[in-house]
Structure 1
Amino acid sequence: MAAIESYSMLVYGSPSGYQTNRAQIQLRGAGGAVLAWVRFNDPGQFFEDDYVEGNIIRMHLPSTMLASVLDVLRNEKPLNIYFAAGRAFFGTADEPIGEAE
C-alpha cells in the first residue's frame, strides 16, 4: 500500500481520446515518485485490465467516475493505492466516524 501525496490530471480530446483513454490522473507519493495512473474510458472505447508495470499501477475506470475520483482526491486524506488480486484499489485509510471534512 502506498500513500498518495499529490496528483495531476490530463483530459484527452478527439473522438477516440489517446491510447484508448479519455482522461488520466497521475498519482504521486513521497518525493514525487509516480505511484499510479488512473485512466478513464468512455463507453465503446477499449477497456484494459488493471496491471502493474515498472512499479507503477495502471487502474482503468469508466469516465463516468472521473468526477467522483477527483472529489475523493480533493476532499479526503489520507489516501492510498495498491494492487492485489489482479486489480488496483484506491481509497482512504481508516478514518474516525464523524470527522468533519
Structure 2
Amino acid sequence: MATEVTKYHILFYGSPGGYQTNRAQISVYDKNNKVRAYIRFNDPGMFFENDYEKNGIIRMHLPSAMFENVLDVLRNEKPVYIYFAQNRGFLSTSTEPVGEGE
C-alpha cells in the first residue's frame, strides 16, 4: 500500500566510508509525522544493500548520483508516494497531465 509523503529530512555522512555503508539519507514522513522510509544513497564502490521493509519502515537504496533527482521530486511534486513491492522500494508521483509545468 502506498503512503503519501508529506515531509522529509536529509542527513549527509562524512568520512571516506560514510555511515553504515551509506553516504546520505533522506527520511520521509507521512501525514502523522511518522517515518515511513529511509532512502539511502551509496557512492560507487560502497557496499550496496538490498531494499527491505522492517516494522513498517522501508529502507530503499540508490546510487548517490540519484540524490538530486530524488530531492527535486520531493521539493517540486505533489503528491508523492512511497511503497514497497516485489522486494523493492518505490518513490512515485501521481498521474499528471502532459505539459503541466511547475
TM over 0.5: yes
- Distance in 2, matches of 1:97 and 1:29, equals 27
Corresponding residue for residue 17 of structure 2? 16
* 1:88 paired to 2:89: yes
> 1:1-101 counterparts in 2 under 5 A?
1-101=2-102
- Distance in 1, matches of 2:80 and 2:96, equals 10
The CA deviation at 1:98 is: 2.4
- The number of residues matched between the two structures is 101
What whole-Å deviation, never above 9, does each CA across 1:33-58 have from its counterpart, x for those lacking one?
11100000011110000000010000
Match of 1:30, SS state, is coil
Percent identical across equivalent pairs? 58
What's the TM-score once normalised by structure 2's chain length? 0.96
The CA deviation at 1:95 is: 1.5
What value does the CA root-mean-square deviation take over the aligned residues?
A: 0.7
What's the TM-score once normalised by structure 1's chain length? 0.97
The CA deviation at 1:31 is: 1.4
